[in-house]
Structure formats: structure tokens, C-alpha cells
């Protein structure tokens, strides 16, 4: 799993192309999981290109805003029966051209990016690849996220994949599917983790370093790699990074605080509009232990098929450790993962998470002492990501 995945989540991906003005219909059943969403490529707009999954934000719809069909239940709404047998929905949107924000002002209104189903979403017909893609036209993408499926429900939350089709004003139904062969080949590729020598953190990586808030996949990777280059190879400075990284983002992807909507939004393609991501780099020297301490927000418990979705401060919280292959062929590979229900909390919801190699595990890094412990694994330099 690459590009900073959460192993407790399933990311379902569908690629398509279609004519402007057609209606796209998604029909399915609400899954048994903690969180579910659909995100679709934005309307075609050369001002904000979408290349290799980086660029303008997708058009979102979060689970609670999807109306169930008559006689059915949306199990993600507070108080509804999470285990109800009747859970079907039908979602419609229009393939369009233009500025994503102008066409979806309520759906793409920061910071919540929410609107009821009565507001029909305007989505992409195909993508413009921009400077990095030589201006080629690419298929659009439908993302579906299944966060923390109920135990035993399987990766799709116990439900079949939704069905998707296009409809013309005449009523004709059809589907256009791009060739999936190359992607399927890469999806089935397996690589082994590589052992790297232990290395102490660079001087600037310490308790006062803080976290990088993700403003799109491109930025978080460039920022982390720049930090790694400064710490491990002594190249560059934080001041240079702060100047160059935003310039690249604006020139290559049309994104930044001084460009029109939606290019000025923190979200970008592949980053879910309703989720915040915090990241930082960390390395572990020989005989050392890395410790994360904090306070957990409240969250609804659903892993064991609880009957209702209780209100809480967040829907889901997780901690993932990542690394990348040396040639960056498979970036952001998951090395370790914890979801909210696995973390040991005290009466004030505070936690202590310790990471070390097996031989360096402290004797008090045990549940009885209120500590959640994980094996650091083979790679000395890793990237921490909190969802």
C-alpha cells in the first residue's frame, strides 16, 4: 500500500471518461464501517490541472449527507440503526466544464465542504494534465473511502461495490471504461522492506519541531523530503524550503494562498476534504526509543458492530508510520498502524505511544503501565502521519 495509506481503510478507485452534460449515477448500499465518503474529479478547468492525482480538489460527498432511498436507513446519521438491513442509496451528479467552486459553491465552501444531497454536484468529464502532463487529457476518478470496517465485515464493510453508469437526457444508459491494465499490474506488485542502519535524529528534529499540516500530497512529500535532505545530507536550509516549496506548488499545480478558489484551498486531489492530516519525519538511533504523548479526542466506537453512531469530537483517529523505496517507485509504504480503539487511554483520555526495536523495548512499555508499544521495524528513517 503506497502514498501514505491507512491499513485499516479501503480505498476503492474507479476511472472514467464521459460527455459533458451527461448524468452519472452511483447506486449502492451503505457499508458497515466508521466513515464512508465519495470524491469525484472536479469539472474540467485548464486553470487548475489535475495530473497524476495531484492538483485541484475533488468534489466531495460525506456519508451523512447521502440521503437513503425511501424505506431505507443512513446508518451514519446519529441515532440511526447501524445494523439496519435496508441501507440503499442513489447518488446523482452532472459531468461539467468550468471552475469547480463556481459550479459547486456550497459543496466546496471552506472549511467544511458539506452540502445536502439536494445540491447536485458538478463533476469532471475528463482531466486536463497541465504542464507536468504535457497538456494531455486523462480519465477522471471516483474515490470511495471505507474507514475502519466493522470487525468481520471485510474491506468493503460487508457490502458489494456500488454500481456506476451514465445517463443521457434521452434516458440511454451506458458506461465508458479506460484501460486498467497497467494499474492492475502495479497494484499486484510486492516489494520487501529494506533494513537501514540506525541513525539519530538531525538536530532540528526534536520535541519542538511540531507537525506539518498536510495541504495536499505534493506539498507534504516535498516538505518531508526537504527536511530529510537537510538533516541527513546537510543540503539546503529551512528558509530555502519555505521559499521554494510554495513556488513549485503554484507553478506546477496552480495552488497557493494567492490564487482564486479552489486553488487556494488546503485540500487537493486525493486528500479527503473532511479529514485533517498531520505529518513529520523521525529517525531512530541505536538503543533509542521514540515516544508520542497526547490527548485523544472523543470518537464513536463501531469496531464491534455497535448499534448506533454516537456523536463525538472526531469520527476517526489513526496513527501511521511510513517509508518510501530508495528510487521513490513506491512512496509512502505503511510500516505500522494504530487506530483509535487500539490506543490505551487513561481517565483523561491521555495516551503514551512508544516505538523501539524489539531488543530496546522498555520493561514498562506495556498495557499495564498505560503504554501502547509498537516495533519500530526495519527502516531507521520514517514519516509519522496522524489522521
What does pLDDT average to in each consecutive run of 10 residues of the chain (387 residues)?
A: 77 90 96 96 89 82 94 95 97 94 89 81 90 81 95 96 92 82 72 81 77 75 70 66 77 83 84 86 92 96 96 96 72 85 98 97 97 93 90
For residue 133, the Cα-to-chain-centroid distance in whole angstroms is: 23
70: alpha, beta or left, given left = phi > 0 and alpha = psi -120 to 50? beta
| 1 within some domain | no
Cell numbers standing for residue 44:
474540467
Using alpha carbons, list the distances in angstroms from residue 120 to 92, 109, 232, 371, 379.
7, 15, 49, 47, 46
Residue 138: per-residue pLDDT: 86
Q: Is residue 139 part of a domain?
A: yes
Q: Is residue 17 part of a domain?
A: yes
CA distance 168 to 172: 5
Classify residue 260: in a domain, yes or no.
Answer: no
pLDDT (0 to 100) of residue 221: 67
Nearest-angstrom CA–CA distance, 16 and 83 = 32
Closest by CA position to 95, among listed 36, 157, 165, 147: 165
The pLDDT score that the predictor gives to residue 232 is 57
Neighbours of 367 (CB within 10 A): 9
What is the pLDDT, as a whole number, of residue 15? 87
Domain that holds residue 131: 9-187
Residue 270: its pLDDT value, please? 79
What pLDDT was estimated at residue 3?
64
- Containing 270, the helix (H) or strand (E) segment is none
Please indicate, yes or no, if residue 82 is contained in any of the structural domains: yes
Residue 29: inside a domain, yes or no? yes
Give the chain's domain count.
1
Per-residue confidence (pLDDT) for residue 268, from 0 to 100: 82
pLDDT value of position 2: 53
Asked if the structure places residue 347 within a domain, the reply is no
Amino acid at each position: 500500500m503506497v502514498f501514505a495509506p491507512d491499513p485499516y481503510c479501503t480505498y476503492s478507485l474507479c476511472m472514467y471518461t464521459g460527455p459533458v452534460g451527461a448524468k452519472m449515477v452511483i447506486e449502492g448500499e451503505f457499508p458497515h464501517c466508521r466513515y464512508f465518503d465519495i470524491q469525484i474529479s472536479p469539472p474540467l478547468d485548464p486553470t487548475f490541472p489535475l495530473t497524476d492525482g495531484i492538483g485541484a480538489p475533488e468534489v466531495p460527498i460525506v456519508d451523512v449527507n447521502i440521503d437513503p432511498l425511501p424505506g431505507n436507513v443512513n446508518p451514519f446519521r446519529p441515532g440511526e440503526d447501524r445494523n439496519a438491513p435496508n441501507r440503499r442509496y442513489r447518488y446523482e451528479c452532472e459531468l461539467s466544464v468550468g471552475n469547480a467552486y463556481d459550479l459547486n459553491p456550497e459543496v466546496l465552501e471552506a472549511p467544511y465542504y458539506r452540502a445536502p444531497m439536494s445540491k447536485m454536484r458538478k463533476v469532471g468529464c475528463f482531466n486536463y494534465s497541465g504542464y507536468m502532463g504535457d497538456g494531455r487529457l486523462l480519465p477522471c476518478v471516483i474515490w470511495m473511502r471505507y474507514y475502519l470496517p466493522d470487525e468481520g465485515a471485510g474491506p468493503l464493510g460487508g457490502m458489494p461495490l456500488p454500481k456506476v453508469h451514465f445517463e443521457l437526457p434521452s434516458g440511454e444508459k451506458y458506461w465508458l471504461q479506460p484501460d486498467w491494465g497497467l494499474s492492475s499490474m502495479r497494484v499486484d506488485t510486492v516489494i520487501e522492506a529494506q533494513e537501514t542502519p540506525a541513525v539519530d535524529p538531525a538536530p532540528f528534529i526534536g520535541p519542538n519541531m511540531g507537525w506539518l499540516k498536510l495541504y495536499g500530497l505534493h506539498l507534504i512529500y516535498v516538505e518531508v523530503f526537504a527536511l530529510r535532505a537537510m538533516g541527513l545530507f546537510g543540503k539546503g536550509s529551512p528558509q530555502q524550503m519555505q521559499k521554494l516549496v510554495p513556488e513549485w506548488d503554484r507553478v506546477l499545480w496552480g495552488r497557493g494562498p494567492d490564487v482564486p478558489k479552489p486553488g487556494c484551498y488546503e485540500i487537493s486531489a486525493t486528500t479527503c476534504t473532511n479529514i485533517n492530516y498531520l505529518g513529520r519525519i523521525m529517525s531512530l538511533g541505536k538503543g533509542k526509543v521514540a515516544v508520542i504523548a497526547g490527548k485523544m479526542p472523543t470518537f464513536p466506537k463501531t469496531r464491534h458492530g455497535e448499534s448506533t453512531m454516537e456523536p463525538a469530537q472526531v469520527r476517526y483517529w489513526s496513527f501511521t508510520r511510513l517509508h518510501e523505496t530508495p528510487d521513490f517507485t513506491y512512496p509512502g509504504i505503511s510500516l505500522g498502524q494504530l487506530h483509535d480503539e487500539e490506543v490505551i487511554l487513561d481517565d483523561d483520555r491521555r495516551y503514551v505511544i512508544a516505538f523501539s526495536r524489539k531488543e530496546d523495548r522498555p520493561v514498562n512499555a506495556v498495557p499495564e503501565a498505560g503504554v501502547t508499544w509498537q516495533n519500530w521495524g526495519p527502516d531507521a528513517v520514517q514519516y509519522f502521519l496522524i489522521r
